[in-house]
Amino acid sequence: MNFKRLSDALRTSFASEKVRTAVAAAALFLLVGAAALVSGGNFLGQTLGAASVLASSETAQTESAEAAALPEEEARAARAGDALNSTKALSKKQIDNGTLWLARCIYSETKRPEEQELVAWVVRNRVETGYRGNDSYREAVLDPYQFSAFNPGSRKRSHYMSLDASSQANGWQRALLIAHQVQTAPAAKRPFSKDTRHFFSERSMTGGRHPGWSARGEKVKPEGGKKIAEDRFRFYEDVR
């Protein structure tokens, strides 16, 4: 046998990082196995248990880092949702027909609670001013081509109309609570004028277009420190 060739081959093999790692792992395995035989298995169990705890800790840190990386806008929505979800749900006696239709409307427009509140005020303004001849929440919501989910022929219409006081869709009970709060709130809590009866979401408009009526009204910002990204919702008053 040519011992020089064998020696060169061994040196080449150990120069590989993968080989060195495998050899080190094998040596560690033999060491742990020997310790386990001496200690009756306790050492092996403790070693594996420690490795498991370390892996769990690394996973938890990763999940926390991902949660912390959420955009601030999304984080605010999540915090607001948690706060509202911690509030006691409405009783069925508190959910009248108006609350139900208002909740269906705001739930169809957005799942973010701070946006749902503002949309609810727009619908309330329409009802209280008799906009387009509608003086009930049901009539205002079902008014053709006013709220897209309820347009004739909309695929979403049947789903949202099926939601009732006992439905458990994600976020639905919270929407009922917001609808009830806005419907029964004092007029002084209104975040914009009573003539604010229009809104649109730029994200839902093809090619970033604006609806024609937006040129006939005045854009307004909600009062009371309520901040909504303009590409999500824009509110208008005095649309003629």
What are the pLDDT digits (tens) for 112-126? Answer: 999 999 999 999 999
pLDDT recorded at residue 214: 94
**Residue 192: Cβ-neighbour burial (10 angstroms; 0-12, 13-18, 19+):** buried
Region label for 162, one of left (φ > 0), alpha (ψ between -120 and 50) or beta (otherwise) = alpha
Q: Residue 43's pLDDT band (boundaries 50, 70, 90)?
A: very low
Instruction: Count the Cβ atoms, other than its own, within 10 Å of residue 178.
Output: 23
The pTM of the full predicted model, rounded to 2 decimals, is: 0.65
Helices 97-109, 172-184: crossing angle, 10 deg rounding: 120
Residue scoring higher pLDDT (184 or 22): 184
Residue type, 198: H
Mean pLDDT score, 129-133: 97
Mean pLDDT score, 36-60: 39
CA distance 223 to 236: 13
pLDDT recorded at residue 5: 56
Q: Residue 73's pLDDT band (boundaries 50, 70, 90)?
A: very low
